[in-house]
Chain A
Amino acid sequence: MKPESAGRLDHGGHGGESRARRSLVSVCSETRRALRGHALLAAIGLVAATVAIRAQASRIISIVPATTEMLFAIGAGDRVIAVGTYDRFPPEVDRLPRLGALLDPNVERIIAMRPDLVVLYGTQDTLRAQLERASIPYYAYTHRGLSDVADTMRSLGRRVGVAARANEAAQRLEQQIASVRAKVAGRAKPKALLVFGREPRSLRGIDASGGVGFLHDMLEAAGAVNALADVTRQAVQMSTEMVLARAPDVIIELRYTGGDETSQADVKAWDALPAVPAVRNKRVFLLQGEEFVVPGPRVGHAVERLSRTIHPDAWR
């Protein structure tokens, strides 16, 4: 499944978009010719060109944090008119209306804002059906691996009509990740456990990244071997025995609800398992930041932070 627009009444998937571009090109060449000749034809051409641009997307609602960040990163931020409940970046989104999220999209308000593109989760079947009935085009986003982030940025860029800038942003991201890979290439890869959830002050309810998904990809790109690489699931519920059995060299805890000072001290909870190499060698770290939970354009930064934590020597 490609994260592409798939609406029945979609005004521009790939086919529609390239058609629009062709018509824009032909309109432009016509305009040029007309400028040599008839002023009237030129005027018609300009109107047609404007219509063609409008057919891209100028009133976008994105209820997915990752795609909201992407839209701003690819230069379409000024076309975003509303976002989702959990969208926090860039700061510009704070002044935009919030219309629900994965589980509770406010379809009435979404339709009332008269968007010409709604970016939603691919699993939101009900919302998709409702938008189809309202003849509102949508772009269905699917959350997958790290390499898909740049691809999604490109595809989103083509869809909203900023293909060139989207391509630049996607390339920047790919280069950022490639440079991190280059930095740690040839170094011994420690076995790392990426923990994204745990009960505070105890070792209960540990959730860690399994061997698939963007967290796993980020860990590998940062120069580590995932301690759970052989478990083909995105999230693995871990018991203390599993932590002892996997014996990671590094434990990295991710938190995105920052702010509370207790978190840094909270990594002490791991001291209950001193036989784990990461604990014995004091290599349990806590990283805070939304870039670890939002698979958007900031993942390059996230990979770099992970890499600096896993291979501090390489970055000195």
Chain B
Amino acid sequence: MAAPADVRRRTIVTVAGFGAFAAAACLIAPLVGSLPISLARALDRSIPFADNVDAQVFFVARLPRVLAAALVGSSLAVAGVVFQALLRNPLAAPETLGVSMGATLGAMIAITFHVDVTLFGIPAVPLACFTGSAGALGIVYAISAARRRGTSTTVLLLAGVALSALLGAMVRFIQVIADIADTFRSVRWLMGSLDVASYAPIVAALVPTAASFMMIATLPRVLDLISIGSEAAASRGVDVPRAERVALVSASLSTGAAVSLAGPVGFVGIIVPHIVRLIVGANHRVVLPAAALFGAAFLVICDLVGRTAFGRVEMPVGMITALLGGPFFLWLLFRKRL
């Protein structure tokens, strides 16, 4: 364990470096796209918005998309870090405990049964999605809370896998009984998309994500200890069951928000934490902010590639994440000779 002063210095350097990277990605991405625009014209208030194509491209098409990518990338990467520490498993991901599948089930129900509810300007599909993820979280939480001495990670993992399989079966059942046009829509949703086209869904997702990040901000030291072993953590005076519940709820909350906003976007939640750890080491005080910033930058860049690199058509961002992130991760592994 490094000295506190050293950790603080490394945290500052990391946050500054990764922050600059994320900021650069978020500033450059809205300026690039299939339609060349002039930023000066986009920000020119003298042209009415209705007639200003540049402004609409910037404010309706690109900025919400970049912000959504940053938020989703950040949420999933942080949730991945927390789940991997909590479950002491490098293969854990935001999808592992069934929260993601709960969100998917919610979306399938809303699409297939034409649920038509709007709350604060948020349409039915993201609403149902978030409800589904909360339901799945409730079940996992009940399982972990039922054991007062702290859940064994194996039990939690198995419960998550079983719940995921159960919810996945329900998703498939709904797809089978769905009308063909709805099946098409649900397949489209399952590909994931960051083109949110307005700010309301981003603000809506920001609320649970902010709450989740605030909870996670209290956890770095606990996560360091838990990832070594719950006995070790308990011997150092950590209330392990409580810490596990906070970690579980907070990571699930940000996962639910991310999936509700963009649909399932794979790869970020499982590999970005490892990429970050390969770069900055394993200390959660450094890893968590680094993952938040790198996850944001990574998804912004992936989406930028997806919408610009394939000529006349765009590619789903979930495909680009693995396409770009996979080789990068393998290169890191090779370079570090692990």
Contacts and interface: CB of A to CB of B under 8 A. Distances in A.
Contact of A197 (B35, B57, B185): B185
B312 A274 contact: no
Interface stretch (A25-33, A168-176, A198-206, A296-304): A198-206
B198 interface: yes
A17 B264 CA distance: 52
Interface in A222-247: 230-231, 233, 236-242, 244-245, 247
A89 to B, nearest CB: 14
Given A202-B198, A244-B35, A239 B61 contact: yes
A275 B180 contact: no
Interface in B284-322: 307, 312-314, 316
Contacts of A207: 184, 188
A275 to B, nearest CB: 4
B131 to A, nearest CB: 17
Nearest to B196: A204
Contact of B314 (A86, A202, A237): A237
B220 interface: no
A244 B53 contact: yes
B53 A275 contact: yes
Contacts of B116: 200, 260, 262
Interface stretch (B6-14, B44-52, B95-103, B266-274): B44-52
List of 5 A-B pairs having minimum Cβ-Cβ separation, nearest first: A241-B61, A274-B50, A203-B197, A240-B61, A245-B35
B171 to A, nearest CB: 15
Interface in A242-264: 242, 244-245, 247, 256-257, 260, 262
Given A240-B197, A257-B179, A293-B181, 17 more contacts: A86-B179, A199-B185, A199-B189, A200-B116, A200-B123, A202-B123, A202-B196, A202-B198, A203-B198, A204-B193, A204-B195, A236-B313, A241-B61, A244-B56, A244-B57, A257-B182, A272-B198
A127 to B, nearest CB: 17
B59 to A, nearest CB: 10
Contacts of A104: 176
A54 interface: no
A239 B307 contact: yes
A241 B198 contact: no
A274 B196 CA distance: 17
17 contacts: A101-B180, A199-B123, A199-B185, A199-B189, A231-B313, A237-B314, A238-B314, A239-B314, A240-B197, A244-B53, A245-B57, A257-B182, A262-B116, A272-B197, A274-B56, A275-B51, A275-B53
B34 to A, nearest CB: 5
A239 B313 CA distance: 9
Interface residues of A, number: 35
Chain B: number of interface residues, binned into ranges:
35 or more
B185 A205 contact: yes
B246 to A, nearest CB: 33
B313 A241 contact: no
A275 B59 CA distance: 12
Contact of B181 (A197, A240, A274): A197
Contacts of B180: 86, 101
B150 interface: no
B221 interface: no
Interface string A185-211: 000000000000101111111010000
A85 B182 CA distance: 14
Given A201-B118, A245-B35, A256-B181, A273 B60 contact: yes
Interface in B191-223: 193, 195-198
Nearest to A211: B312
B198 A233 contact: no
A201 B123 contact: yes
Contact of B313 (A200, A233, A273): A233
B168 interface: no
Given A197-B188, A204-B196, A257-B181, A241 B49 contact: no
B125 interface: yes
Contacts of B189: 199, 205
A22 interface: no
Contacts of B57: 241, 244-245
Contacts of A293: 181
Given A199-B125, A204-B196, A274 B62 contact: no
Contacts of A274: 49-51, 56
A109 interface: no
- Residue among A201, A207, A239, A272 having the largest count of chain B Cβ atoms under 10 Å: A239
Interface in A146-183: none
Nearest to B49: A274
Interface string B47-86: 0011111001100111001000000000000000000000
A273 B316 CA distance: 22
A2 interface: no
Contact of A241 (B34, B176, B179, B193): B34
B135 interface: no
B198 A230 contact: no
A200 B176 CA distance: 22
